[in-house]
Every structure is written in structure tokens, then in C-alpha cells.
Amino acid sequence: MTRFLLRNAVWIVLLFTTIAFVAVEPRLLSVRIFINVLEHSSILGILVIGMIFCLLAGRFDLSSESTLGFTALVGAWMVSTNPFFGSGWQLPPALVIVLMLGMGAGVGCLNSFFIIKLRVNAFIVTLAMLLALRGFTYVFTNANTMYDLPPSFAALGGYSIGGLLPISVILFLSLFVVSQFVLSYTTFGRDLYAIGGNREAAFAAGIRVDRRTLTAFVLSGMLGALAAWVLAGRLQAVTINLGQGMVFEVFAAAVIGGVSLAGGKGTMMGPLGGVLLLGVITTGLSVMPISSFWVDAVRGVLILAAVVLWRVTEIFEERWRTGTP
């Protein structure tokens, strides 16, 4: 029982945080706001899934927010019906979506080429990719915003079933369920744990370490492109700074959810709690009667508190398992 509570600490923190916000501001307790939090969490959630694949394999992908920004912009440029800002090509949305996912996969391939073949540190490679892609995004558009996306392109991010339940929410929640299944029940998922836990051992046991790592980065890139599609649809326009600064929250959600930065440890469901916790904190603070200057500071402190709490529970669990008092 104690162990169950410790393992799911993030959900307990989420519950109490929600109760605390609602106690201060009862109007927060509504289905509409609840769905709003879910909808705003969907982008972060999709990026976090990609990050977890890489983290479990003992790597990082800092670049996914820029992949999001870049693919969103190039996609919007190709699909836009606006002759002033777009390419004027007005490519079919389905084709553009495939191209966007392809670009995301391409970024993943490029990242893993440098990391696996040239053995450059993943942190440096993906940090450089983060900056380079953001730079290309600026160069490509002269800092213009892309408008006039066809309705079928924008549907994934913009449409709600019955005007209430956004497709993006269903998509992001089912992606978490699917990827948890992948981690628990496929050789790919299990191999990631082995690689992140002990890369030499995984290799010696015959696991295709390079191929698995490549797949993790490609998935991360493609999920970045998928998030781009969702976000472009929701906003009905693409600005140059889309996704900027999200890498911090991606890491925070993963770590709050119990994913080890050292690799080999974590689940998808924990970080889902982390994503929702960040969503609740952001939404809650935005309606609190405090200066917006405080929002980032409070958010940072709360994240730190959550991470410390998680670490404490982990220490307790270790003691519990080894039987030391």
C-alpha cells in the first residue's frame, strides 16, 4: 500500500494541487476548465512521449520543440491558401502532413547520425539542432506569421466532438496509452530499458543498440511534427516562436513523472501525471489574483518541490526494498 502510494506520488500531488487551487478559486471546478487543461496539455504531452523514449535509452532530445516550430511553419507555408505569406502551392493537407512527419523523422535521423555514428554527446547535438532549426525557421519566414490553413488541415487541433471534447485530447491521451503499451509489451520498449540501464550489457546480449536508439530519436522527431500539426490547427495560424522554451517543461514533466535522466527507469503514465500537474499549475496560477511576474517563479518552485518529493519517495522505496531503516 505504502509502496503503491509512493510509486504514484505524482497523481497524489496532482490531486492535492487541484484541490488547493479549487479551494482558493471555486470557479475553477468546471468541466470546461478541466477539458481546457487537457487540451493545453496535449502539445506538451506529445513532446514528452518522444523525450521519454530517448531518456529511457539514456539519451536526450532537446530539439523536439524546434522540430515542432520548424515543421509547423514549413507545413503551414506549403498548405496555406494565403498568396502573400505562403508558398502559393496549396498542397493537399494529407500530403503536407506526411511531409511534416517525414521532416520530423529526418531530424531524428540527423540527430542519431551525429550521436551514434560520430559519437557526439546527445546533449550537444540536440542543443545545436534546437538552435539551428529555430534559426532556419526565422530565416525561412522573415518572421512572418502563416495564416489561412485549410479546415481539413486544422481539424486535428481545432475540432471538438460535440463542441466539447477536442480530438487533440483524445489523441494525446491515447498516445500515452499506446506508448505505455509499447514500453511494457514490445521488444523495442524492453530493449530501451536495457540500453538505458546498461548499454554495454545490452550490446553484449545481442540487442541492436544503435537501431533502437535511432528509432527512439525518429519517434521523438515525428512526435514533434505531430504536435506541430495539432498546435497549428488549434491556433489556426503559425507564428515563428511556436513551441519556444517548451524543452524546460518537457524535462520537468518527465522527471516529475519519475523518469530517470540517467536512463533505464520510468514509465509513460507517471509523466502523464507530470504533464497534467504542470497544466493545472499553469491554469490555476493564471486565474489567481497575483502578478503574472510571479507565475514563472511559482511554477519553478512548485516543479522543484515536486522533483524533491519524488526523489524522497524514491529514497524511501530503496530503503524499503533493501530493508535498511
Which residues of this protein are in contact with other proteins, per CB under 8 A?
Answer: 185-187, 190, 193-194, 196-198, 200-208, 264-265, 321-322
Grid cell 496560477 — which residue? 285
State whether residue 166 is helix, strand or coil. strand
H-run or E-run covering 161: strand 160-161
Nearer to other proteins, 158 or 270 (CB): 270
HEC secondary structure over 236-252:
CCECCCCCCCHHHHHHH
CB of 259 to other proteins, least distance (A): 12
The Cα 247–Cα 129 span in angstroms is: 13
CB of 264 to other proteins, least distance (A): 4
CB of 296 to other proteins, least distance (A): 34
Residues 136, 71: contact at Cβ < 8 Å?
no
CB of 42 to other proteins, least distance (A): 27
Nearer to other proteins, 88 or 319 (CB): 319
CB of 207 to other proteins, least distance (A): 5
Nearest to 46 by CA among 237, 189, 175, 157: 175
Cell triple for 89: 502551392
CB of 313 to other proteins, least distance (A): 17
Nearer to other proteins, 2 or 241 (CB): 2
CB of 269 to other proteins, least distance (A): 17
The Cα 241–Cα 256 span in angstroms is: 26
Grid cell 518541490 — which residue? 305
Nearer to other proteins, 122 or 194 (CB): 194
The Cα 258–Cα 267 span in angstroms is: 7
Please compute, for residue 212, the number of CA atoms within 13 A of its CA located in the half-sphere on the CB side.
27
Nearer to other proteins, 142 or 322 (CB): 322
* Alpha helices, H only, the chain: 2-7, 9-24, 31-56, 64-79, 93-112, 122-141, 151-158, 167-185, 187-197, 199-204, 209-235, 246-256, 269-287, 293-322
CB of 140 to other proteins, least distance (A): 41
Number of H helices, E strands in the chain: 14, 2
Nearer to other proteins, 7 or 265 (CB): 265
Nearer to other proteins, 143 or 205 (CB): 205
Strand partners, 161: 165
Task: Name the DSSP letter for residue 165.
Answer: E
Task: Name the DSSP letter for residue 27.
Answer: G
Using only C-alpha atoms, the chain has a radius of gyration, in whole angstroms, of 20
The Cα 157–Cα 234 span in angstroms is: 4
CB of 263 to other proteins, least distance (A): 9
Nearer to other proteins, 138 or 185 (CB): 185
Nearer to other proteins, 6 or 155 (CB): 6
